[in-house]
Structure 1
Amino acid sequence: MKYRTTLLWQTCLTLVCLGSAAAAESGQPNILLIFADDVGQEVLECYGGQSYQTPHLNELSRTGMTFHHAYSMPVCHPSRITLMSGRYPFRHGRVAWGSYPEAAETNTFSNYLQRAGYTTGIAGKWQLCLLKDDPSHPQRLGFNHSDLFGWHEGPRYYEPMLYRNGTVRDDTLGHYGPDLYQSSLIEFMKANRDRPFFAYYSMAVAHEVTDDLPQPVPHGPFDRYDNYAEMVAEMDQGVGRLVAALNALELREKTLILFLADNGTPPEIIIRAEEQDLLRTPVVSRRNGLDVPGGKKQLTNAGTNVPMIANWPGTIAPGQQVDDLVDFSDILPTFLDLAGAPLPTEQPLDGVSFANRLRGKGASPRRFAYCEEAVLPKPGGVEPDGKSSGLRWVRTQDWKLYNDGRLFYMAEDPVERYPLTGPQDDAPRAAVRQQLKRAFEELSLSSE
């Protein structure tokens, strides 16, 4: 069976042959957001990773800006809510897993960019509803074009179950999902090359296959599922294909590429199915001479300190290594800043724009980053109070305070072996603790 489609390469060749019409003169850049799934910093060579080759991401880093203090939530669903809304998950109440708060549907980065004149498209992972129950959900959340797998409804890799603009596709037999997602997004960028666009590649890789269907999803061509190294290779190749398409369309200098990941690397992945049994294998990666087990679901650096690379030739100077604090609430205001659009007034944002850092005009004004444990009800409802349970932290580059009172000096203890409690504080440490307690208070959250 032919699993790898040639359509993607034919598309790229066509773009090279056609070239590009002159893009409409506008101060608004195109935005290509590439959102990897389950990829920690230790995976990328440009962050010191030694287990996998990531040449295309290395090149984005070499010719762009690499952030060392970007922070996600510990798992994908709250990360995606924060990313799209500019607000931390607890602001929305306890949103059921795999859903999006209905009251915030009009307040997504995609809806705001549409209002600012952008055409918007997404391909890959949705995770924000069961599309069979609500096929128009991506359109309500602000996407003119969508090509998505419907979360826990079918395969995402080999012979995937995809919804294109709300309708299940019937042409995926024999195809590999990431090829189809990339082809769809390339065609979207090609069709909209003469106007500002927002293209969102919500990657499937490097997440394991869906694990809760009555019948396990199909194996790949080697009678198993892709291993983690193979998915990392696909992630990097997908970045290269999208960059090549932008080059062919002569849009690179008009397009900000922002690569980031939704949370850390998983500790293990499903490698094959034997009837109804799913067999797993551990994921351990090498970074700067040390073995790093996957930290997904943890509030540690391994679970939340994710890779983020910005690339924009002619605007972002190459080879920059940046220590600005960034968390996912910052993505929405940054995009609006770049689009020349006003910040929303209907509700306050938690995020702050780091667009000036991208323009070379100064550091991000963010003073602390925030993260919370995912304590989510099962699908089917929203619980009214998201403030009552769960572990949380606020942090600077060097210090991190949990709401249970544990303080860590991350500059010397990045794996959090030595918690510092209040009675141990000397005067300088007491001042740091008070500073971070005030950050909790600014969020209207309590800490010990």
Structure 2
Amino acid sequence: MHHFLTPPILKCGFALARGTFVTCWSLVLLCLGDGADAQDRPPNILFLFADDVGQEVLECYGGQSYSTPHLNELSRTGMKFNHAYSMPVCHPSRLTLMSGQYPFRHGQVTWGDYPQAAEAKTFSRCLQRAGYTTGIAGKWQLALLGDDPLHPQRMGFDYWDLFGWHEGPRYYEPMIYRNGQVRDDTLGHYGPDLYQHGLIEFIKTNCDRPFFAYYSMALAHEVTDDLSPPVPHGPFDRYGSYPEMVTELDRAVGRLVAALNALQLREQTLILFLADNGTPPEIIIRAEGEELIRTPVVSRCNGLDIPGGKKQLNNAGTNVPMIANWPGTIRPGQVVNDLVDFSDILPTFLDLAQAPLPADVAFDGVSFADRLRGRGASPRQFAYCEEAVLPKAGGVEPDGESSGLKWVRTQDWKLYNDGRLYHMSEDEREQYPYVAADDDATSSAKRKQLQQAFDDLGI
């Protein structure tokens, strides 16, 4: 992978639509708007959603294998969450994220699809109705865009710049759909640079109104593995290594924060960084003809070597990094232990947007916006995760086999639907399960509490 210099802060002379140029100061004034109006309006939201990145990857969580200075700075000047929980693989996480409901609520959803009945209730559609302009760049994974190129529009995005998932490359010389049309200007380019540039242009164009800018990263997922011939190598005649992709991911965070700073939008903008599931156990590093060569991913964290846990229901697969940063609203240097799962993202965004939840949907999520505003902890009592059974669609294979396991948990205790109970604060690697016949008074009470959570979910 080629190496990039961190780009300089945006300079004067921004190019806008139809070739018009305005000065830096004029654009800043446009973005700031009237002082009273800027204070009254809800915050902009920059949502940074990383792919295949566990907590052990980030230095601010104790990671020792990779340099993540920009994420460290977001954590140092913002709020770090210790107990954010995903689904174990990509698609169920995205389904939960956008719908505010757990996957089992939607019935049998094929891999890489989104239930049509739920399209009108995504967080992006709800934010549009609340007056936000919405844009997304990077990964979609909710439809094959070749079959349904306007799917992001139906799901609530005014602008999109998304790679053709399982249709073409995402990194070198990427295949990108911009607003329904395949771009013809990507030859010789590195995909993440194009996604970031497109999202920055979206922010610049819409900085005078509330915006929702969603960077759904390709990084740090491996290349598509089902195309013939395989997708192009990078400049070193191979694909990016996991450390190189983490470096690029962190650089992207710095680039987007620099853009907000240049536009003087930081105090008006919540930045939320989150990852979709744990680190992969291995990645594709190069192609030899049609054969794809893989290399293991093991990360050092707090003195331990941690193999990638993607596809697993343990902490390595589902306990993901989450950082919130909002100068002037979020007090710097906070580390919180509130439970958060992905169903909480939709109600939190709508709470921040001062918009009501749709009345005809039974959402699983609860808002943690008060935690961000400094008004108190999230009311969530337990987190939920499932190993969803998702049949393939359009020739796309799921990321792994499923046994139908599910769990509910608090910060300290975790119960699987097969009866295994773990005291997570003492047994993080889940080596010593409690079975009901051996429960003591404490484990029996915790089992009863968590079983009630399963019962409340109807499981």
TM > 0.5: yes
**Pair 1:15–1:318, CA change in 2 (3 A):** farther
Instruction: Please list the CA deviations of residues 405-443 of structure 1 after superposition, one character each: whole Å capped at 9, or x if unmatched.
Output: 000000000010011100111122111100000000110
Within the candidate set 82, 90, 112, 1:98 is matched to 112
- Between the aligned partners of 1:68 and 1:193, the Cα distance in structure 2 is 32
1:393 aligns to what SS in structure 2?
A: strand
1:303 aligns to what SS in structure 2?
A: helix
- Between the aligned partners of 1:304 and 1:103, the Cα distance in structure 2 is 27
CA RMSD of aligned residues (A): 1.8
Within the candidate set 207, 212, 229, 1:193 is matched to 207
Shift of 1:23: 3.0
Identify the residue that residue 23 of structure 1 maps to in structure 2.
33
Shift of 1:27: 2.5
**Structure 1 length-normalised TM:** 0.95
- Between the aligned partners of 1:11 and 1:163, the Cα distance in structure 2 is 27
Instruction: Indicate conservation of the 8 Å contact 2:9/2:262, yes or no.
Output: no
Identify the residue that residue 352 of structure 1 maps to in structure 2.
366
Identify the residue that residue 327 of structure 2 maps to in structure 1.
313
1:94 aligns to what SS in structure 2?
A: coil
- Between the aligned partners of 2:308 and 2:3, the Cα distance in structure 1 is 28
1:295 aligns to what SS in structure 2?
A: coil
Shift of 1:14: 4.0
Identify the residue that residue 285 of structure 2 maps to in structure 1.
271
Identify the residue that residue 146 of structure 2 maps to in structure 1.
132
Identify the residue that residue 419 of structure 2 maps to in structure 1.
405
- Between the aligned partners of 2:452 and 2:267, the Cα distance in structure 1 is 42
Within the candidate set 205, 221, 230, 1:207 is matched to 221
2:160 aligns to what SS in structure 1?
A: strand
1:123 aligns to what SS in structure 2?
A: strand
- Between the aligned partners of 1:170 and 1:432, the Cα distance in structure 2 is 57
- Between the aligned partners of 1:315 and 1:144, the Cα distance in structure 2 is 28
Identify the residue that residue 381 of structure 2 maps to in structure 1.
367
1:110 aligns with 2:89: no
Identify the residue that residue 198 of structure 2 maps to in structure 1.
184
1:85 aligns with 2:83: no
One-letter amino acid matched to 2:33: A
Within the candidate set 56, 59, 64, 2:78 is matched to 64
1:280 aligns with 2:294: yes
Instruction: Please list the CA deviations of residues 52-100 of structure 1 after superposition, one character each: whole Å capped at 9, or x if unmatched.
Output: 0000000000000000000000001000000000000000012100111
Instruction: Indicate conservation of the 8 Å contact 2:104/2:388, yes or no.
Output: no
1:98 aligns to what SS in structure 2?
A: coil
Shift of 1:183: 0.2
Instruction: Please list the CA deviations of residues 334-359 of structure 1 after superposition, one character each: whole Å capped at 9, or x if unmatched.
Output: 00000000011111100000000000
1:13 aligns with 2:27: no
Identify the residue that residue 355 of structure 2 maps to in structure 1.
341
- Between the aligned partners of 2:4 and 2:148, the Cα distance in structure 1 is 29
Instruction: Please list the CA deviations of residues 216-274 of structure 1 after superposition, one character each: whole Å capped at 9, or x if unmatched.
Output: 00000000000000000000000000000000010000000000000000000000000
Identify the residue that residue 384 of structure 1 maps to in structure 2.
none
1:12 aligns to what SS in structure 2?
A: coil
2:153 aligns to what SS in structure 1?
A: helix
1:261 aligns with 2:275: yes
Identity rate, percent: 75
Instruction: Please list the CA deviations of residues 169-209 of structure 1 after superposition, one character each: whole Å capped at 9, or x if unmatched.
Output: 00000100000000000000000000000000000000000
Aligned residues: 437
Within the candidate set 235, 239, 250, 1:221 is matched to 235
Instruction: Indicate conservation of the 8 Å contact 2:2/2:236, yes or no.
Output: no
Identify the residue that residue 243 of structure 1 maps to in structure 2.
257
- Between the aligned partners of 1:14 and 1:216, the Cα distance in structure 2 is 41
One-letter amino acid matched to 1:440: F
- Between the aligned partners of 2:250 and 2:437, the Cα distance in structure 1 is 48
Aligned pairs for 1:28-43 within 5 A: 28-43=42-57
- Between the aligned partners of 1:270 and 1:278, the Cα distance in structure 2 is 6
Shift of 1:13: 2.5
Instruction: Indicate conservation of the 8 Å contact 1:11/1:183, yes or no.
Output: no
- Between the aligned partners of 1:180 and 1:142, the Cα distance in structure 2 is 22
Greater shift, 24-33 or 145-154, is seen at 24-33
Within the candidate set 431, 434, 456, 1:420 is matched to 434
- Between the aligned partners of 2:394 and 2:309, the Cα distance in structure 1 is 28
Structure 2 runs not aligned, ≥5 long: 15-22, 396-401
1:330 aligns with 2:328: no
1:13 aligns to what SS in structure 2?
A: coil
Instruction: Indicate conservation of the 8 Å contact 2:44/2:212, yes or no.
Output: yes
- Between the aligned partners of 1:210 and 1:87, the Cα distance in structure 2 is 28
